[in-house]
Chain A
């Protein structure tokens, strides 16, 4: 199944903030986690994660620091801020409202059966 560009873009911020809420992380690991969480359904172009991270940093939702793990490469780690957590909570409320509305639509329009029903249940 291919998820449209708009949906990917809209869900990117809450996904990244949600992952960072679990603990600090870096670009590649975030991308891997998005991939795992969505069972490979959400496909991001790798590079485009970074402008998004920089935007979140500019807005103050995350902060970053370069760290060099022992024997490893220098790497930029991102950490969520209090403001970022507030933003995540807000996004969560908004998404819950959207999901509720969609659920209502799915149950009233029984005639249009989803072809692969589990995808929605699992994804949301």
Chain B
């Protein structure tokens, strides 16, 4: 009897030890415990004593470090931030994590100073003449520093560093070599698309050069969502800081606005890019996966809105008024729907069975698709009338890129909801499609200005 109690005590201790690992979920622990018990039973039947059997069974299970590393590799959604999976806690790693903060501060300082460099050469931030220069180059101040931070943290190889540098140089050349007038459409397009293209370049650094891996790409998508949330939060805090600074100095008769406009705002925004990234990496367990939470809140609301809109279109038989900005509005709608799809995927337990939320998500995608097809149908008639200006071509191209993604996603989702396809197919489709966004963003930045004569 006491032998049994001893054994149970030992197993309970082992279980507690397993539960301390974040990589291993409760059900995994249960599955492993079943295995352990089976092994112990077999060994005791073969004539070993209970405690001997326990020791051998634990030993055969393999080292817990190795085990959790394998589980983490398979279930990266559980602790997606650990790109460098928990290795043996050797001395260099510990020293490295101590250096993490100073390196981050250094990168943030470089980003903050980078935006001031042009003003030393007479390109003034507050001057109206040079607004175009800053709009085109905004992403070139902070993102190289961010990429450098990740390159350092992930210890990427020289070839990857070379490729990253080359892409940033290419971006800089594209933004500045073309003779783009400040009020031209292609200038605005470059200002919008270059950040997207370069953000995906940062992604290459984020995944440590392993950009072919679907799971690593998914990690980057998760990172992007969390980063955006932290960035907005820091922005809100910055707004409060700005307001207090202005008013406090105004109270003693000093005008702080000049300082705020030329230093606090630009430098703060650039540094916030790096600090947000660092926060996502370091504090990931504090605010965990906000983007998926927001997605769960807003998916039903957006679905209801879109369905109501569709019903209204049918009921009133009002055609959609395709004004100049209609395409951009519906592009935004598709982006939002896609974002909600992405962040629903990113936090999903991939083996869970389809539930109510999945049907809701499918309804959201399908209604967005129907609306978009209506808009496209209304617009094709008028596109000849407008002609292909850079803006319209870009908006139409984006619409098609997103439409293709969502249409195939809806198909895969339908297969999943009907139990015909594993969810992983949908995840793989989304992570592979990232390449299309990169291709499109670079095409707009590199090919549009010459195609449209820098209009």
Q: Which residues of A contact B (CB under 8 A)?
A: 26-28, 31, 45-48, 50-51, 54-55, 57-60, 64, 66, 73-76, 83
Residue from the set A31, A46, A47, A74 with the largest chain B CB neighbour count within 10 Å: A47
Residues of chain A within 8 A of B30, CB atoms compared: 74, 76
What is the bound-complex CA distance between A28 and B37, given in angstroms? 10
Residues of chain A within 8 A of B61, CB atoms compared: 45-47
* B34: contacting residue among A45, A51, A75, A83, CB under 8 A: A75
Give the size of the chain B interface in residues (CB under 8 angstroms). Answer: 26
Residues of chain B within 8 A of A47, CB atoms compared: 32, 35, 61-62, 66-67, 70
Residue from the set A27, A28, A31, A64 with the largest chain B CB neighbour count within 10 Å: A28
Q: Output the nearest chain A residue to B33 by Cβ-Cβ distance.
A: A73
* A60: contacting residue among B32, B66, B67, B424, CB under 8 A: B424
Q: Output the nearest chain B residue to A60 by Cβ-Cβ distance.
A: B422
What is the bound-complex CA distance between A23 and B376, given in angstroms? 51
B32 A64 Cβ-Cβ under 8 A: no
Beyond the given pairs A28-B38, A75-B34, 5 more chain A to chain B contacts, judged by CB atoms under 8 angstroms and listed by A's residue number, are A26-B34, A31-B35, A51-B74, A58-B350, A59-B422
Residues of chain A within 8 A of B32, CB atoms compared: 47, 50
Residues of chain B within 8 A of A73, CB atoms compared: 34, 37
Residues of chain B within 8 A of A83, CB atoms compared: 422
What is the bound-complex CA distance between A28 and B30, given in angstroms? 13
Q: Which residues of B contact A (CB under 8 A)?
A: 27-28, 30-32, 34-35, 37-39, 60-62, 66-67, 70-71, 73-75, 350-351, 421-422, 424-425
A46 B35 Cβ-Cβ under 8 A: yes
Known: A27-B35, A46-B39, A74-B30. A51 touches B73 (CB 8 A): yes
* A51: contacting residue among B37, B39, B71, B421, CB under 8 A: B71
Known: A27-B34, A28-B39, A73-B34. A60 touches B28 (CB 8 A): no
Q: Output the nearest chain B residue to A81 by Cβ-Cβ distance.
A: B422
Q: Output the nearest chain B residue to A83 by Cβ-Cβ distance.
A: B422
What is the bound-complex CA distance between A64 and B28, given in angstroms? 13
What is the bound-complex CA distance between A47 and B21, given in angstroms? 14
Residues of chain A within 8 A of B351, CB atoms compared: 54, 57-58, 64
Can you give 26 A-B contacts (C-beta < 8 A)? A26-B34, A27-B31, A28-B35, A45-B60, A45-B61, A45-B62, A46-B60, A47-B35, A48-B66, A48-B67, A48-B70, A50-B28, A50-B31, A51-B71, A51-B73, A54-B71, A54-B75, A58-B74, A58-B350, A58-B422, A59-B422, A59-B424, A60-B422, A73-B34, A76-B31, A83-B422
What is the bound-complex CA distance between A27 and B30, given in angstroms? 12
